[in-house]
Structure 1
């Protein structure tokens, strides 16, 4: 019996090279942009195959911007690539295509900006709900108001990509999540139950932090000012299962905020001022990263703790707020592409006694790299992570959230009270095609910030705080004065002094 010659790597390579170009293209269409970039480095034939396909080049360019394609687009590959490049140039130079003004309630109980929808909810004289589907570069814009949602809502969260809005309300010592379809405010068809209930163990609900990430609802709240009154509730709303119920002693000391990283992970921000003996130096702030099981009741596992810079003995961290763009479970309605949920920046607003404020910017992907940790949860000092994986700058963001979308952050530039200038910080710095890089470097309204920046030691910090996370800064003057800006994928939204008007700039 004749022996069979072993299949060598060269033989396998020749067989791949022998495939007809249409077959290779058919395989490549199933790959993501990052894998396509790697394929280009395998051989010249594959590189030429990718470069010869506008569809594949479009997929690579989407990946470079941290985007995922809309599966329902009927545009040609050429048109999709041109639309992407137009969108890039518009954001680089802050050249918005239109400006539209909407009146809003200047004292809402709660508000949200997710997936191209700005919504407000009030409780007096009845619990109403107003949703503004914001205009796009192609036009549109629609206001829908429901005068009575049927419950006295304390807060709400929403995800238009799931047609989902969740109203938080209570009856005596029982809390409820009402899961509704945004389009009708009827019970959501995918919810296991239209109402998910939990025991408050008290009649009071304070300092509410309510969030949605795909199939998970997360709620952090207090029932009093006492440290031990803190509660964290997590539900899987599609299965109708309470996943997590934590109370005060199960938390790190002095938790000030909560944010969902992904549908199976969250972070707690802690000012950590109770971790040392009375009279001794106060602890540095900490970012605690947790994972949990999203399909059954369980106890979350802490996988890592990141520490903030050491401060002087007379100073301490008063408050730390964690904020990032919303987690959307699906593609944005009507959009050609959407930001990937793993390409987001998290902003930690730090306030020290005396009023000094700082903003700390960290990529979600850096925080999420600890989710695979299976050993003892490490406590990582600032010097081992902060200088290379964050950017800390003086000043903190204003009173409204939703100033972050994806890897972009917006804020008024200069004097907040008198400036007409808007500034965008884009932390999505990935090498793009040479033409766009040349355009970016020559733009008079944009600059790269790739050099480290330092906050010198002195009044607040015990030693210099140097950080080096790169970003691109774009800026432009506006016709109107705005005290606050919000942002989503295709819009800047300016808020006026009276906080009763939105000016929507579309890209």
Structure 2
């Protein structure tokens, strides 16, 4: 008996589209070049075009809501062309509270401005543009409200740092209890409190209100110089430096611990190491997703944090072309989805950055450079799945995955998803107290800005696409910091006029 064959093109179109939807986006595009029938099927399907648009822009879908695929597709295509609509002179100005205008650490997270003033142990968070958020948070935290040590007053503890995540409604507070001995004050015990931003109690998803540190040297051997707390999803990391002077017999040290804060208040995920010169050899940290972690130092050291019951496992070391000092890593404002709290995000947000295809920004001193690094290199199986951790020379990974730009006082660089924005003052240009700035936008995603207008297919590109150049008309204003979000550019301006406070300028596009 002769067996019958069912050819792909003989299937009903609905079933054919369903089968194609399981293919990677690159394979869907390849299928469109095989024959007219497959191309026509693709052109009739908003779902397949949406899949290829997501992949080409290096995004992942966020499920939820009842928006059609055609609407999703239009939003994505509008996003790709958004920069053609950018007007640097059309902005909304938001004044900064006077008490936070000096010596304040500022971050932008999920449409919220977060201020931390270490000298006053005070913290403030507020939505920059509340109308663009479904739900927003506005809180002031006084020194007394930042610590929950029973029976102790403000003089009994020292708040070292805070981490704010509006998407998870989370405020993490790093503090140390102190004891006095005559005129000497010693650090005693370190803690991290996890509280809800919109309330005064412990965070409802936390395993407990307080995270406890393990295996930290005693205060006689370990005096805090600086701290950094970083979070991503269910993970929180704390980095500490000691402040001991370097001697032939003693090197300063850094210490790091990572918690799965939703499941345990303790952790065995601990790393530490020496610091040869504490004035220059700063150690920075960065999450690359829920299972990978990066330590920025003399090398880029990639760790696996899948098993939180033990120390992070070193996967690979990526070497620099030359030695650098004072390396700092900056996390994008629109980081990958951190939790199941989408109500704080804008209702039209239906995609997130792919952790394997996004950009990191690093700043180095001596030489002064901005680095833009594609995270894809940290997921390449040829590098990180080899037997034992390998040291990858710069020539094997750097030229194809990084871009470097001069870093000076007037230069700023921000990254968001697969895009980077570089701002710098034009050399020697000063006209009527106005400064000319140049903005360069680079898009590292596979889809170029130019498209086939009729077919609607993307064109693959290998080099960054540079955007327009603008003149910024300001009056003795200086850009203190810059953040790039999905559809907004945030500029923190320094107002030199004594009667004017610092302010945010928010440009929507």
Q: TM-score range by the shorter chain?
A: 0.7 to 0.9
1:236 equivalenced with 2:252 (yes/no): no
Give 1:436-455 correspondences, 5 Å limit: none
Indicate the residue corresponding to 2:129 in structure 1. 134
Indicate the residue corresponding to 1:346 in structure 2. 360
Give 1:116-195 correspondences, 5 Å limit: 116-122=111-117, 127-134=122-129, 144-148=138-142, 149-151=145-147, 153-172=159-178, 173-195=188-210
Alpha-carbon distance in structure 1 between the residues aligned to 2:365 and 2:61: 39
1:388 equivalenced with 2:400 (yes/no): yes
Give 1:345-494 correspondences, 5 Å limit: 345-352=359-366, 356-369=367-380, 372-395=384-407, 403-415=414-426, 419-432=435-448, 435=451, 470-480=464-474, 481-483=477-479, 484-494=481-491
| C-alpha distance 125-429 of structure 1, shift in aligned 2 (>3 A) | closer
Please give the secondary structure, in 2, of the residue aligned with 1:146.
strand
| C-alpha distance 477-364 of structure 1, shift in aligned 2 (>3 A) | same
Indicate the residue corresponding to 2:272 in structure 1. 247
Aligned with residue 290 of structure 1, among 278, 282, 303: 303
1:115 equivalenced with 2:140 (yes/no): no
CA displacement, residues 258-304 of structure 1 (integer Å, 9 cap, x when unaligned):
22222222222224xxxxxxxxxxxxxx222222334x321222222
Give 1:50-65 correspondences, 5 Å limit: 50-65=42-57
Give 1:252-267 correspondences, 5 Å limit: 254=281, 256-267=283-294
| C-alpha distance 31-416 of structure 1, shift in aligned 2 (>3 A) | farther
Alpha-carbon distance in structure 2 between the residues aligned to 1:471 and 1:232: 38
Alpha-carbon distance in structure 1 between the residues aligned to 2:288 and 2:77: 30
Alignment check: 8 A CA contact 1:420 1:482 kept: no
Alpha-carbon distance in structure 2 between the residues aligned to 1:29 and 1:184: 44
CA displacement, residues 402-457 of structure 1 (integer Å, 9 cap, x when unaligned):
8222222234223489644252432423135853799xxxxxxxxx997xxxxxxx
Worse overlay, 162-171 or 419-428? 419-428
Indicate the residue corresponding to 1:500 in structure 2. 502
1:210 equivalenced with 2:224 (yes/no): no
| C-alpha distance 399-261 of structure 1, shift in aligned 2 (>3 A) | farther
Please give the secondary structure, in 2, of the residue aligned with 1:413.
strand
Please give the secondary structure, in 2, of the residue aligned with 1:49.
helix
Please give the secondary structure, in 2, of the residue aligned with 1:81.
helix
Alpha-carbon distance in structure 2 between the residues aligned to 1:75 and 1:212: 31
Alpha-carbon distance in structure 2 between the residues aligned to 1:407 and 1:504: 21
Alignment check: 8 A CA contact 2:422 2:439 kept: yes
Alignment check: 8 A CA contact 1:349 1:396 kept: no
Give 1:286-325 correspondences, 5 Å limit: 286-294=299-307, 296-310=308-322, 317-325=324-332
What is the deviation of 1:23?
Answer: 2.8
Please give the secondary structure, in 1, of the residue aligned with 2:81.
helix
Alpha-carbon distance in structure 2 between the residues aligned to 1:327 and 1:251: 34
| C-alpha distance 74-476 of structure 1, shift in aligned 2 (>3 A) | farther
CA displacement, residues 301-335 of structure 1 (integer Å, 9 cap, x when unaligned):
2222222224xxxxx63322233424432567122
What is the deviation of 1:51?
Answer: 1.6
1:103 equivalenced with 2:95 (yes/no): yes
State TM-score, norm by structure 1: 0.76
Alpha-carbon distance in structure 1 between the residues aligned to 2:310 and 2:55: 35
What is the deviation of 1:127?
Answer: 3.1
Gaps of 5+ in 2: 148-157, 179-187, 246-250, 455-459, 496-500
Alpha-carbon distance in structure 1 between the residues aligned to 2:27 and 2:197: 37
RMSD: 3.7
Alignment check: 8 A CA contact 1:115 1:160 kept: yes
Alpha-carbon distance in structure 1 between the residues aligned to 2:447 and 2:419: 16
Gaps of 5+ in 1: 272-285, 311-315, 439-447, 451-468
What is the deviation of 1:78?
Answer: 3.5
Please give the secondary structure, in 1, of the residue aligned with 2:400.
helix
| C-alpha distance 381-185 of structure 1, shift in aligned 2 (>3 A) | same
Alpha-carbon distance in structure 1 between the residues aligned to 2:121 and 2:331: 31
Alpha-carbon distance in structure 1 between the residues aligned to 2:59 and 2:384: 24
CA displacement, residues 26-85 of structure 1 (integer Å, 9 cap, x when unaligned):
455566644543554565444322220123312322222222334234444443333333
Alignment check: 8 A CA contact 2:168 2:338 kept: yes
Alpha-carbon distance in structure 2 between the residues aligned to 1:183 and 1:42: 55
